[in-house]
Amino acid sequence: MFAKILIANRGEIACRVIRTARRMGVRSVGVYSDADAGALHVEMADEAVHIGPSPVGESYLRGDKIVAAALATGAEAIHPGYGFLSENPDFVDQVTAAGLVFIGPPAASIRAMGLKDAAKRLMEKAGVPVVPGYHGEAQEIVLLASKAREIGYPVLIKARAGGGGKGMRRVEHPDDFSEALSGARREAKAAFGDDRVLVEKYIEKPRHIEVQVFGDIFGNVVHLYERDCSAQRRHQKVIEEAPAPGMTPALRKAMTEAAVKAAKAINYSGAGTIEFIVDASQGLKADCFWFMEMNTRLQVEHPVTEMVTGTDLVEWQLRVASGEKLPKTQSEIALSGHAFEARIYAEDAAKGFLPATGTLHHLKFPDTAPEGASMRIETGVRTGDAISPFYDPMIAKLVVHGKTRPAALEALGIALSQTEIAGSTVNTAFLAALAADADFSAGDVDTGLIGRHQQALTAVPPPSSEIVAAAALAASGAGAQAPTRDPWSSLAGYAHFHAIARRTRLRYGEDDILALVSMRPGGRFQVALDAPYDSALDLRAAARLARWPGHVTVFSGALGYSFAVPDPLAKADEIAAGADSLRAPMPGLVKLVRAAKGEAVIKGQPLLILEAMKMEHTISATHDGTIAEIATEGAQVTDGTVLVRFAEEAHG
């Protein structure tokens, strides 16, 4: 076994690997960029090396710096985690050329599966079923459009490199093919440096079911059963589970055998995942699944497999990479119970899942697992850390295990309702709504489920009078949440002729809220709210809330309602983002401008494309008008930057 390894990654996966390495007596070396100098994985590692500025291209994608760090610290092997360089065969060559061990598959295996089109041709030869489509080298638009017609609409355009839904477009009609192809190519080029695509038949009710495989250098390959990853938004997974709901013995046998066959076809060693698309329109059948791609690394969702098989896949990775045989044979790997993983992101589900940034002023996960369940929290952040625009906005993975699917799903809902995050917009309420969705609860899942139910799943009810009153009480400085030396608190319970009262202002969205907080006997308070609430409530200080600079967040189940607390001494900001302008909803790069100064535009017309987190977001006109100013292509903008300003006549 290795004495010391370097982890070429950051965030939760780096922390995850460090924990297993420590348990095995293996020392760990972390690497970090400028933005991650104070990160949790740096604190947890036995030692850490700075590798460059915050942009990934200058730090976490610099294989030369990572290899140099490993050599300088005496590490014997490099664990790539997922993302970044984990599936880069050239990096594997760099590692091995330096006399180090890459904790993952050989470069040849990664190359064989690295491009979707070549991988599918290889799988066809190996007898693994593949989705009908065009996987060729020629990329002329006329040819691709012709192939799409041959396949039959709807079709799916997919980047041949990479994954995560980037460079992917569903096309319903031939007239939309050219525009969709251009968008997919731009996104693929930005994310993977390769704008080539493949075109496939779009499966009407697709299930995304994948099989965890593991191989060693002695030719042994086993599977650890399947995971269902059909709950996706924007082609990216949000809740995964194992085993797949509704799985039949016949389909499980066919899929796991195909997965092992695929791994053996490329002499695979280490952890890998064979992803299949399954047509669930007529139930799960053994002849209705097709190979999509192979991920030649540890998956984000690997904890659900660990929970239902009682394994530690990172330990397996270290053992196999150090030359040991697989820890278990196929007959020794059994399924037990059911597990879910929910990915908690800094994102605004109500605004199309736009990535968010911010400081995590309050971060609290459940202290114990719900009754009858087990739970683990995988995270790379803690209270006070910032969600940076440079990296993926995932905050944590909440993983639960129960004896049955209903028991595990109930535990997931409870755990999400007990999770508290303030300082950034997060998706916990959306995840809880999805877990409670009738179709999801019944196991009737497919990749279109979230899209069909998106409005209901992302709707945020307005705060109740009780929630507003609790926020006002906290903002006033009264009650248990008050600072120790708050003079208001020191007067608690004292009144000479009448109840002491304090006037408090809050802001929620566009609403200005005025509240009057008065003392009551027995440690209680009365909170009188002006319109639109027009109510007076008698209450104690709320237990589930967080105060952070200029704000109060009140938690209700999985929802967190954040109220701004204006500084009465500060000058009011008279300039708001009105209908005369469009502002950037997040930090990003202006990728494409489709309108010009002086041009008359109509409501809904696409004006520019903003690239953020390697995804494209279209900014469209909110009304008819004439453009007075518009951002330039290539401009790097921050959250709230004016992208488009309309001429005054637009409102006259």
Supply the residues annotated as catalytic.
297
Q: What is the CA radius of gyration of the chain?
A: 27
The answer to whether 411 and 372 have CB atoms below 8 angstroms apart is yes
Question: CA-to-CA distance for 304 and 179, rounded, in angstroms?
Answer: 38
Question: Cis omega before residue 587 (within 30°)?
Answer: no
Residue in the block written with tokens 């953020």: 612
Helix (H, G, I), strand (E, B) or coil at 448: coil
Token pair for residue 157? 């355009």
Give the up-direction half-sphere exposure of residue 124: CA atoms within 13 A in the CB hemisphere: 12
Alpha carbon 319 to its chain centroid, in Å, reads: 29
Question: CA-to-CA distance for 46 and 50, rounded, in angstroms?
Answer: 14
- Pairing outcome for strands 551-556 and 559-564: antiparallel
Instruction: List b or e across 479-507, with b for residues whose CB sees 16 or more CB atoms inside 10 angstroms.
Output: bebbeeeeebeeeeeeeeeeeeebebbbe
* Count of beta carbons in the 10 Å neighbourhood of residue 97: 9
Contacts of 505 (CB under 8 A, 6+ apart): 512, 513, 514, 515, 565, 566, 568
Q: Beta partners for 505?
A: 514
Torsion on CA atoms 460, 465, 468, 469, rounded to nearest 10: -160
Smallest CA-to-CA distance from 392 within 294, 314, 300, 306 is with 300
Token pair for residue 244? 């797949």
Smallest CA-to-CA distance from 347 within 415, 422, 418, 424 is with 424
Token pair for residue 502? 């304090």
DSSP letter at 36 equals G
